[in-house]
């Protein structure tokens, strides 16, 4: 789950006209609801319905937060927008989420080119050294085959520029050191009181007894920041490519 | 051995998870630590070459770990182990990868079946298959899935048959070369059985056959009227493969309606049969029908067990089969020739074979107006649970139901096919009293099909059988006991109460030189090894 940074929350507090101050957790919750209940029609970026771009604050009918809450609860008759059974608080959290996204979008993004982005992904960026798309690339990093369905452009951009800022629970890196000094690093799959399971840097499923280890713990993400490696245009290109990755095999 | 060398050996023993080539699946004897297909080999012998657990040491078995499925369905899957990673199925269709030493999870793939998925007899799955770096599973909504073995990500998904036509897949796929082969359940609903092969890399269909021939095909004349269309003959257990003849073998289920043959006069080919198919094309090379015109639901969906044995003085490539109909068989698997058949429990519906192996029926042992006791029971002398053959003892081991029967009473009129696919007859099981029926692990000599020994149980059994090169036999039953027997004598070596019915076959593997044996009971997977 993508956490909204404190900066966004501050921005929200000063620019949004929410009736109450939502916390970062509220906004996160709103995002969760949006992705599970709204994104099927509106899209992850909220721009899949003609004339509506929820992620940029463009609405057909609504002006105020109260308008939006009403639409979320009652739907819009004779359109595809159904009524929901959301409470005022739940609907307000979705609105807070939408406002936060819109707020963070202001300032204008560079328009990317997906084809150039793919070339960067495969070439200069060496992304496949850690990431898998379809049947190609490594399994060590998060699989990106469906990332376009899971993440919005701004979130992907943040991951490229500041990969440590927010790492999903399923993507955490772990390092263990055996008593003989052998270190193993990998993506953590499971951890409990006595054992650790990971996919190591050689793409092997590994299991360790903690009692056999000299040391174990979370490690920094091996994902480098591309802030200095790619320019703004190239970042936008890669993001444009990533949002096209929507393998629907599992759908 | 110096400590350094020992460390190196241990390091090597913790082998890397390499690609599972078909050659590896074909030659499990080269890597006894693994269990790469449903019954351990494509000969379905369910025999482990591991020797650490012996008839002497088995008494020291102790629990290592339990993994509990978040499912209330019967746990029928046999686990697969590849280089220390255990793959199993949480019924109906979630695939789980566990560390085989600790039972702790690497990944879980969850699958939601289409709401129209229907099965007659439990939302179950009997296991996955592996090839390359993929894991394959058939689903209740009749799809075949391929997952990434390292991550559980879905790689492809192919519809094998229409869910709405009551097709389902419940068995572990059978891998042959670069293909994944599956059959369809649904015979009790009248769904005409299918066996189909798919390209393992892409999921593209390579061939398919129907288990009931269509008009113009040989065998279609064995169905009266249009009854072939809804005749069932599902395929719901794994196949066997013989590389020398390139034949893949599948057993087929009962004809539908199950307990009422009045609307499907004839032998009803290829129900209750074994089919020998060309693995590359699906072409039918031979068949043998165990129960022509079955009205008792004697599915022949046991796994075919292949063995190369010295049979009556000369080497012979045989197929061993203990059938739900109460008869055991030795067939020549190259030609399909019937070599020997004999009841392995009390049977009253037939009293001999003609020279070609067709059973000679006893008149009246069919559904009648007055009701007729037919033995074995409608649930069978054995069912789908996998048997074992040990090349060390040369014995064939079956979990059997002895002395059981069902009273079949014919309905007033035959129902329209499709409306009541089970048939109009009523059944009265005769399983209530101890003397009326009991479960037994029975060791048969393939030379004579006579029993060598029995291990009787108080209750019946749905458990499969595993034998090992330590001459230990593992099995269990409905009472929830898991036990180890001496494979040569049937003597009890060790037992444990697992508190849940055993509905699957045990299997064995080793990691870092330690042998484990695993069995599902209730909704949990229980793993044992010798005390250290």
Q: Is the pLDDT score of B422 beyond 70?
A: no
Query: Among A7-11, A152-156, A240-244, which is the least confidently predicted range?
Result: A7-11
pLDDT per residue as tens digits for the range B124-140:
999 999 999 999 999 99
pLDDT for residue B101:
98
Radius of gyration of chain B (CA): 22
Q: Is A197 on the interface with B (CB under 8 A)?
A: yes
Q: List beta partners, residue B20.
A: B132
pLDDT for residue A242:
95
Chain B interface test: which of A178, A189, A213 (most B C-beta within 10 Å): A189
What span, in angstroms and rounded, lies between the C-alpha atoms of B328 and B309? 16
pLDDT for residue A25:
75
Q: Is the pLDDT score of B493 beyond 90?
A: yes
Between residues A58 and A213, the one the model is more confident about: A213
Mean pLDDT of chain B: 93
What span, in angstroms and rounded, lies between the C-alpha atoms of A100 and A97? 5
In this structure, chain A runs to a length of 251
Q: How confident is the model at residue A7 (pLDDT cuts 50, 70, 90)?
A: very low
Q: Is the pLDDT score of A93 beyond 50?
A: yes
pLDDT per residue as tens digits for the range B59-81:
999 999 999 999 999 999 999 99
What span, in angstroms and rounded, lies between the C-alpha atoms of A139 and A162? 21
pLDDT per residue as tens digits for the range B164-173:
999 999 999 9
Mean pLDDT of B441-460: 96
What span, in angstroms and rounded, lies between the C-alpha atoms of B27 and B390? 16
Of A143, A203, A205, the CB nearest to B97: A205
Judge whether A6-105 and A114-166+224-242 match in fold. yes
Q: Is the pLDDT score of B154 beyond 90?
A: yes
Could you list the active site residues of B?
Answer: 297
What span, in angstroms and rounded, lies between the C-alpha atoms of B238 and B43? 11
Q: What is the CATH number of the domain that holds B256?
A: 2.140.10.10
Q: Is A202 on the interface with B (CB under 8 A)?
A: yes
pLDDT for residue B262:
92
Secondary structure tally for chain B: helices H, strands E: 2, 38
pLDDT for residue B18:
82
Three-state SS at A28: helix
Q: Is A180 on the interface with B (CB under 8 A)?
A: yes
CB contact under 8 A, A197 and B99: yes
Both tokens of A94, joined, read: 């979705």
Mean pLDDT of B96-121: 95
Q: How far is B164 from chain A (nearest CA, A)?
A: 19
| A133: CB partners within 8 A, 6+ apart | A121, A143, A144, A145, A245
Mean pLDDT of B438-451: 96
Residues in A touching B154 (Cβ below 8 Å) = 249-250
Three-state SS at B132: strand
Domain A169-219 sits in CATH 2.30.30.100? yes
What span, in angstroms and rounded, lies between the C-alpha atoms of B208 and B196? 4
Instruction: Tell me the C-alpha to C-alpha distance, in Å, between residue B60 and each of B47, B49, B339, B352, B494.
Output: 21, 19, 42, 46, 8
Q: Is A200 on the interface with B (CB under 8 A)?
A: no
Q: Is the pLDDT score of A110 beyond 70?
A: no
Query: Among A76-85, B28-37, B245-254, B300-309, which is the least confidently predicted range?
Result: A76-85
pLDDT for residue A37:
87
| A81: CB partners within 8 A, 6+ apart | A41, A71, A75
pLDDT for residue A173:
96
Three-state SS at A221: coil
Number of cross-chain residue pairs from A and B with Cβ atoms under 8 Å apart: 51
CB contact under 8 A, A199 and B154: no
Q: Is the pLDDT score of A208 beyond 80?
A: yes
Q: Is A63 on the interface with B (CB under 8 A)?
A: no
Residues in A touching B151 (Cβ below 8 Å) = 139, 143, 199
| A149: CB partners within 8 A, 6+ apart | A44, A246, A248
Q: Is B102 on the interface with A (CB under 8 A)?
A: yes
Q: Looking at chain A, which residue has its C-alpha nearest residue B15?
A: A204
Instruction: Tell me the C-alpha to C-alpha distance, in Å, between residue B500 and each of B74, B508, B519.
Output: 10, 20, 11
Between residues A22 and B210, the one the model is more confident about: B210
End-to-end CA distance of chain A: 20
CB contact under 8 A, B99 and A189: no
Are B295 and B410 a contacting pair, CB within 8 Å? Answer: no
Residues in A touching B101 (Cβ below 8 Å) = 207
> How is chain A split among helix, strand and coil, in percent rounded to 5?
40, 15, 45
DSSP designation for B304: P
Q: Is B151 on the interface with A (CB under 8 A)?
A: yes
pLDDT for residue B289:
98
Mean pLDDT of chain A: 84
CATH of region A114-166+224-242, choose from 1.10.760.10, 2.40.50.140, 3.40.50.1970, 1.20.120.330: 1.10.760.10
What span, in angstroms and rounded, lies between the C-alpha atoms of B182 and B237? 9
The DSSP annotation for A91-157 comes to HHHHHHHHHHHHHHHTT-PPPP-HHHHHHHHHTTT-GGGT-EETTEE-SSS---TTHHHH--HHHHH
Chain B interface test: which of A182, A207, A250, A251 (most B C-beta within 10 Å): A207
CB contact under 8 A, B106 and A195: no
Residues in A touching B148 (Cβ below 8 Å) = 139
Mean pLDDT of B474-482: 96
CB contact under 8 A, B157 and A250: yes
pLDDT per residue as tens digits for the range B386-397:
999 999 999 999
Both tokens of B305, joined, read: 């067990």
**Domain range list for chain A:** 6-105, 114-166+224-242, 169-219
CB contact under 8 A, B151 and A143: yes
Query: Among A26-30, B18-22, B46-50, B353-357, which is the least confidently predicted range?
Result: A26-30
Q: How confident is the model at residue B428 (pLDDT cuts 50, 70, 90)?
A: low
Q: Is the pLDDT score of B498 beyond 50?
A: yes
Residue span of the structural domain in which B67 resides: 16-530
Q: What is the third-level CATH fold of A6-105?
A: Cytochrome Bc1 Complex; Chain D, domain 2 (1.10.760)
- The answer as to whether B1 is a domain residue is no
Q: Looking at chain B, which residue has its C-alpha nearest residue A134?
A: B155
Three-state SS at B176: strand
Both tokens of A155, joined, read: 């979130």
Q: How confident is the model at residue B411 (pLDDT cuts 50, 70, 90)?
A: confident
Are B261 and B295 a contacting pair, CB within 8 Å? Answer: yes
Mean pLDDT of A34-39: 86
Mean pLDDT of B433-442: 79
Supply the ipTM of this predicted assembly.
Answer: 0.89
Q: How confident is the model at residue B144 (pLDDT cuts 50, 70, 90)?
A: very high
Three-state SS at A14: helix
Between residues B337 and B121, the one the model is more confident about: B337
Q: What percent of chain B has pLDDT over 90?
A: 86
- The answer as to whether B359 is a domain residue is yes
- The answer as to whether B10 is a domain residue is no
- The alpha carbon dihedral of A23, A29, A30, A35 has a sign of positive
Of B97, B151, B156, the CB nearest to A139: B151
Q: How confident is the model at residue A13 (pLDDT cuts 50, 70, 90)?
A: very low
Q: Is B148 on the interface with A (CB under 8 A)?
A: yes
Q: Which residue has the tokens 């102790």?
A: B62
pLDDT for residue A3:
42
pLDDT per residue as tens digits for the range B276-331:
999 999 999 999 999 999 999 999 999 999 999 999 899 999 999 999 999 999 99
Q: How confident is the model at residue B433 (pLDDT cuts 50, 70, 90)?
A: low
- The answer as to whether B282 is a domain residue is yes
């Amino acid at each position: 789950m993508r956490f909204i940074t404190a900066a966004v929350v501050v921005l929200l507090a000063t620019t949004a006209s929410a009736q109450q101050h939502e916390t970062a957790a509220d906004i996160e919750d709103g995002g969760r609801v949006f992705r599970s209940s709204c994104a099927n029609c509106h899209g992850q970026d909220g721009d899949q319905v003609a004339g509506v771009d929820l992620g940029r604050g463009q609405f057909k009918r609504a002006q105020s937060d109260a308008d939006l809450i009403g639409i979320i609860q009652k739907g819009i008759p004779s359109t595809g927008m159904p009524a929901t059974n959301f409470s005022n608080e739940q609907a307000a959290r979705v609105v807070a989420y939408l406002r936060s996204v819109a707020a963070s979008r202001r300032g204008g993004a560079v328009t990317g080119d997906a084809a150039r982005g793919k070339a960067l992904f495969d070439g200069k960026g060496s992304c496949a050294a850690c990431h898998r798309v379809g049947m190609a690339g490594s399994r060590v990093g998060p699989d990106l085959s469906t990332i376009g369905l899971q993440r919005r452009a701004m979130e992907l951009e943040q991951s490229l520029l500041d990969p440590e800022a927010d790492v999903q629970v399923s993507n955490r890196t772990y390092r263990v050191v055996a008593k003989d000094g052998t270190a193993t690093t990998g993506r953590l799959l499971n951890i409990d009181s006595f054992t650790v399971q990971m996919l190591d840097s050689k793409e092997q499923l590994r299991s360790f007894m903690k009692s056999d280890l000299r040391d174990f713990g979370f490690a920094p993400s091996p994902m480098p920041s591309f802030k200095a490696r790619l320019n703004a245009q190239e970042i936008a290109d890669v993001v444009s490519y990533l949002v096209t990755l929507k393998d629907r095999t599992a759908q | 051995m110096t400590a350094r060398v020992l460390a190196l050996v241990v390091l090597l023993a913790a082998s890397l998870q390499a690609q599972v080539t078909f050659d590896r699946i074909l030659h499990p004897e080269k890597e006894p630590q693994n269990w790469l297909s449903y019954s351990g080999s494509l000969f379905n012998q369910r025999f482990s070459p591991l020797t650490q657990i012996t008839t002497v040491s088995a008494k020291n078995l102790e629990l290592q770990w339990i993994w509990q499925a978040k499912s209330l369905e019967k746990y029928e899957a046999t686990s697969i182990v590849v280089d220390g990673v255990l793959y199993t199925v949480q019924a109906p269709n979630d695939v789980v990868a566990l560390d085989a030493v600790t039972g702790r999870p690497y990944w879980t793939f969850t699958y939601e079946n289409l709401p129209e998925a229907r099965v007659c007899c439990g939302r179950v799955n009997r296991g996955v298959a592996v090839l390359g770096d993929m894991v394959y599973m058939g689903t209740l909504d009749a799809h075949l899935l391929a997952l990434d073995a390292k991550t559980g990500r879905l790689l492809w998904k192919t519809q094998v048959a229409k869910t709405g036509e009551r097709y389902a897949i419940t068995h572990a796929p059978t891998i042959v070369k670069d293909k994944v082969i599956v059959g369809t359940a649904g015979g009790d609903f009248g769904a005409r059985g299918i066996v189909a092969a798919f390209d393992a890399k892409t999921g593209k269909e390579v061939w398919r056959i129907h288990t009931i021939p269509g008009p113009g095909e040989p065998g279609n004349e064995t169905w009266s009227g249009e009854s072939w269309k809804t005749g069932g003959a599902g395929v719901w257990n794994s196949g066997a493969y013989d590389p020398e003849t390139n034949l893949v073998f599948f057993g087929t289920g009962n004809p539908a309606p199950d307990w009422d043959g009045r609307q499907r006069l004839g032998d009803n080919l290829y129900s209750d049969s074994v089919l020998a198919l060309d693995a590359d094309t699906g072409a039918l090379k031979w068949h043998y029908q165990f129960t022509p015109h079955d009205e008792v639901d004697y599915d022949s969906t046991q796994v075919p067990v292949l063995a190369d044995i010295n049979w009556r003085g000369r080497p012979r490539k045989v197929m061993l089969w203990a059938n739900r109909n109460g008869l055991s068989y030795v067939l020549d698997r190259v030609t399909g020739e019937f070599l020997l058949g004999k009841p392995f429990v009390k049977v009253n519906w037939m009293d001999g074979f003609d020279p070609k192996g067709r059973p000679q029926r006893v008149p009246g042992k069919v559904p009648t107006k007055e009701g007729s006791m037919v033995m074995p029971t409608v649930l069978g002398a054995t069912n789908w649970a996998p048997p074992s053959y040990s090349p060390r003892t040369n014995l064939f081991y079956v979990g059997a139901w002895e002395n059981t029967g069902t009273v079949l009473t014919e309905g007033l009129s035959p129902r329209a096919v499709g409306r009541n696919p089970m048939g109009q007859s009523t059944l009265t099981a005769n399983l209530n009293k101890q003397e009326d029926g009991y479960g037994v692990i029975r060791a048969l000599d393939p030379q004579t099909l006579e029993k060598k020994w029995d291990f009787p149980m108080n209750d019946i059994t749905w458990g499969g059988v595993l034998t090992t090169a330590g001459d230990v036999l593992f099995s269990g039953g409905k009472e929830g006991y898991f036990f180890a027997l001496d494979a040569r004598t049937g003597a009890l070596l060790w037992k444990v109460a697992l508190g849940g019915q055993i509905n699957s076959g045990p299997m064995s593997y080793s990691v870092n030189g330690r042998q484990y044996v695993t069995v599902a009971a209730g909704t949990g997977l229980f793993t044992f090894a010798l005390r250290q």
